[in-house]
Structure 1
Amino acid sequence: MTRSLRVAVVGAGPAGIYAADILTKSDADVSVDLFERMPAPYGLIRYGVAPDHPRIKGIVTALQRVLDRPEIRFFGNVEYGVDLKLDDLRQLYDAVIFSTGAEKDRALDLPGIDLDGSYGAADFVSWYDGHPDVPRDWPLTASQVAVLGVGNVALDVARILAKTADELLVTEIPDNVYQGLKASPVTDVHVFGRRGPAQAKFTPLELRELDHSPNVEVIVHPEGIDFCAASMASIRSNKQVEMVVKTLQEWAIRDVGDRPRRLHLHFLEAPVEVLGPDGSVTGLRTERMRLTGDGGVEGTGEFTDWPVQSVYRAVGYLSTHLAGLPFDHTSGTVPHQAGRVLDLDDQAITGVYVTGWIKRGPIGLIGHTKGDALETVTSLLADAPNLPEAPVADPDAVVRFLEQRAIPFTTVDGWRKLDAHEIALGVEQGRDRVKVVDRATMTDVSRA
């Protein structure tokens, strides 16, 4: 390649920004343009992490330092597949990395799962995180709620449902979320896992945070605290599993206090049906499970009906099929080899790459995307000498392209304006920040 390498990254969440970071820290002469369908950057950090997680949101500071580099540009409010397509990017860039993540709910094949009052966790997370493309209201009418799944997202959902709105007022939650949670009549939130405590997918930190609320009593039901040979091996070999199990065992034998709301953790209870003869959720039926010795479980034939009025499934996220790319609908990922996108014949598509959850599926913590990005960027840089140069060499051609299509894109300077605006809104209310929800307002403030 006779000139500097020009790379487009589609998706400006942690995965995309980490890829830009590694590229611009390499020895290659490279510039990177990040495209994001939201007017603001940070993806999962802004729209997928519960607002009462200030430590995780501290990652924003490091990501912002990456965006501040002169060889990186940010184009927000630009949606791939709507405002531009792969052919457009290949005209303007030598290589394209897709890092669009996963934000849809994975389906759960369960009788009654489509009843009124049954929701996907991802949709609820988008609501309480102020995502601009979801409704402003959420039907919080249930006094007893079931959450299906024992990962970090399940605990986030359960914690937000169980906490009082006033506890969350110190965070950046928008006013519509505060008002919705304040009107919630919830008294009990039940979290169900079909396997044992040693197989739980949440982290020790996430678990311990459940017990920090002065208004929520965390109750671990002791009948689910059971271990098999595989469970004990996992406890001995994994420090995080050991910490999770130790905490759950301690909570299972402690006295139950008198806090006004209760968050119940049930293990070895497999959901088998959402009940609701009149079209709305009136209960959840579970089957008692037993460990089989190898980390698996089997049914006992003993069933329990729980009188809940809402059910939230937190059984995983799923990526969306990207126009112009192959897609594995079962795994919800783009087929690849070390980040190189593969066509239907398992041949690498020249100059097209993936990283993050669209590459490996929605597993692991935010920091795990760094390893993904490193692998993908390593492949890209190895290919760089043989990549055909983009037909359009002018770096500013993309700006003219977006302007000609009348796309009201935002920039990193625009994000700084929006950031300052949200902080100012927070100062007015004695808070650190108040998140702006409306897309038009976000865009107007950014482009002012």
Structure 2
Amino acid sequence: MTQNLDTLTQSLLDAAKKAGADAADAMAVSGTSVSIDVRGGALEQAERSEGTDIGLRVFIGQRQANVSASDTRPETMTAMAERAVAMAREAPEDPHIGLADADQLAKSWNLDALELSDPTPEPDPMVLQQDAQEAEAAALAVDGVTQVSGATAAYGQRMIHLATSNGFSGGYARTDRATSCVAIAGTGTGMERDYDGDSRIFQADLRDAADIGKSAGQRAVERLGARKPKTGTYPVLFDERISSSLIGHLLSAINGGAIARGSSWLMEALGQQVLPAHLSVTEDPHRARVPASRPFDAEGLPTQKRQIVENGLLTGWTLDLATGRKLGMPSTGNAARGVSAPPSPSVWNIALTQGEQTRDDLIRDMGTGLIVTSMIGATINPNTGDYSRGAAGVWVENGQIQHAVNECTIAGNLRDMLMRIVPANDARLHLSRVVPSLLIEGMTLAGD
């Protein structure tokens, strides 16, 4: 399959050159996915898909165009190239676009060390169904759970290949195996729902399906009897399930696209303190068995470990070639793309420095406040960092959990919030975003 995708991308480049392109890059993605849903102990839905998608980007001077297809016949690739060249001739000029210089391209990488693909065979659909059934049964066995709205087990495998007209060619395989369950507790208007799930590259690493179902059921039951909290200013603990969203807002604000557009609340923050001085955010695209790992980026540049925030100080932006050129900086090797669009900047695996206290320690010390376990909606001002989100979770008084909470809003300013975070030590190390539970003092809470 690797050779096939290599051949497809080279054929696209040949077609682009024949059609009159000055330069081009091509991408091919071939994949298989299987998903099994159960309800009431019986199979509810089974899906399987297989296919190959191809994409071609061509350059005519400083103009570019991108086309894609799921048809890999030679005549289709010829038509794609001709259409792309015609589109590029009509596109506006952009002085910042273009392929990497030859000396910037990745020359070698160690796929075995990344362990992106599980060598074990694709699971039989009956094995997936059994996992989903076990998760559902475990959720229903939790006292207080009245139904399971869905239990799913899935498997996927993809092959990806990228080639450029100036000499780069590389590809890799990626697999994933997942189980999830959504449980509902209570009846009538008092019903509450929650979920749990796990996704891994290697099937052997996946959590037990019964454990996932039991956890989903327990989480749903814990939400029963929820009520609004009193409006005021309180400490808020962002549970590890959702704490990565806070660091995600920081990562979005330092994305080269936002910086180049001038629409970021961290526009003037380069070299400034954005986190407490003892905390850092590290990006490492070479972690083994982690979904966001990759040997090279979508422009053929080598990926590398970097400190996005070091000892509280913001060290740089997240850049692909085009945004780097706009800002007068080199790419950080963070280009991402699909077959249907040009590259754009994106982060790979990131990790926030963990704290020394446990989650229970932070709950004990927070006094009276809110533990947020889920959020809905978002109003984030990209220019000021003003933050407002609907939240649900549990109420804490005198360091003790009291009751479930829903229908409230938490608000603050991200620049101020991030400077006050206190991390626990409970981050899950296998995730692509390793962020522990985070406590923030003095947040505005709107309820009753």
Higher fraction of helix: 1
TM-score normalized by the length of structure 1: 0.23
TM-score normalized by the length of structure 2: 0.23
Where relative contact order (Cα < 8 A, 6+ residues apart) is larger, the structure is: 1
Higher fraction of strand: 2
